[in-house]
Amino acid sequence: MEKPYVIGMDMGGTNTVFGIVDTRGTVISKSAIKTSTHPDDVNLYINDIYVELSKLIDAAGGIDKIKGIGVGAPNGNYYTGNIEFAPNLPWKGVIPFAKLMAEKFGVPAALTNDANAAAVGEMTYGAAHGMKNFIMITLGTGVGSGIVIDGKVVYGHDGFAGELGHVNVMRNNGRLCGCGKSGCLETYASATGVARSAREILETSTKDSLLRNIPVDIITSKDVYDAAIQGDEVAKEIFNFTGKILGEAIADFVAFSAPEAIVLFGGLTKAGDLILNPIVENMEKNLLPIWKGKVKVLFSDLKEADAAVLGASALAWEL
């Protein structure tokens, strides 16, 4: 008998979410652990997953019901099953993660970039349903991307295509990125980038702001959002700056693959029009005439964690 379930797992810089998914794409159960509890040993991290996930597997009828595990992870390589040199994860170098998971659980495992997995989820169940050319950009702890051309995720020559969080958006005095470079998109357009922008603006201006009630070192993107919806001008300026950088970068991405839409996903999208308006305005300003007014910018309409879990799980059906 065909096994009725797959496991989808989304590894983020902060949290790792996993769930059991049925053939219809329903997440029937879900749990999560912190990603960085064991920075020195990935096997202890896998053990934490095993403990939590085994509860869900048992409730679903045991490991015999599970066809395989699909993993979305930063710098996950679809071709090799390795996580290689991921700047936002605690484990350095090359981690044969798909192999380790398969050995631990006794079922096959496949792996891709977390954002590629989210793109597959979005194409199958979400805002990009029916689209053959779109770019998914995940705005979380970092900035990830999944590029879909002619209905297929672009993996490139080596399996690592779609690292749009690390294109340069500031050649001079750009912010230092976790990857070792400076001026990467993700140092500006991620949740942590918004917090850095807040600190910079508060420290270099004397403008009044609700954000001055919070110690500058612990301001988060959510604090900026909370201030902005109360009309705080500095907070709105921070979203305008973030949206400008992202919109300008997106215009260059359009010049590459001429997508029908850009789908945005992740924590920053909770800012709604505060971030969407400056993105669209600055994208349009920087598009070639042939694309002006033609490229949709959409927010994911899947529940934030589900898109990545569903996308990752889709990999497992193909095992």
Q: Footprint of a copy of itself on this chain (CB under 8 A)?
A: 75, 84-85, 132-133, 147, 149-150, 152, 154-164, 166-168, 170-171, 179-181, 248, 251-253, 255-260, 286, 288-291, 294
**Residue 209 Cβ vs a copy of itself, minimum distance, rounded to whole Å:** 26
Nearer to a copy of itself, 197 or 221 (CB): 197
Q: How many CB atoms lie within 10 A of CB 289?
A: 6
Q: What does each C-alpha distance from 278 to 111, 202, 225 come to in angstroms?
A: 34, 20, 15
**Residue 266 Cβ vs a copy of itself, minimum distance, rounded to whole Å:** 19
**Residue 286 Cβ vs a copy of itself, minimum distance, rounded to whole Å:** 6
Nearer to a copy of itself, 85 or 299 (CB): 85
Q: What does each C-alpha distance from 31 to 19, 48, 121, 315 come to in angstroms?
A: 6, 12, 18, 19
Nearer to a copy of itself, 47 or 257 (CB): 257
Separation CA 286–CA 247 (nearest Å): 8
**Residue 161 Cβ vs a copy of itself, minimum distance, rounded to whole Å:** 4
Structure tokens at 78: 């679809």
**Residue 3 Cβ vs a copy of itself, minimum distance, rounded to whole Å:** 30
**Residue 169 Cβ vs a copy of itself, minimum distance, rounded to whole Å:** 8
Q: What does each C-alpha distance from 246 to 35, 74, 263, 286, 293 come to in angstroms?
A: 27, 20, 13, 11, 17
Nearer to a copy of itself, 103 or 158 (CB): 158
Nearer to a copy of itself, 121 or 159 (CB): 159
Nearer to a copy of itself, 57 or 128 (CB): 128
Structure tokens at 214: 């919070």
Distance of CA 112 to the CA centre of its chain: 12
Structure tokens at 271: 């800012």
User: Who contacts 51 (Cβ-Cβ below 8 Å, separation ≥6)?
Assistant: none
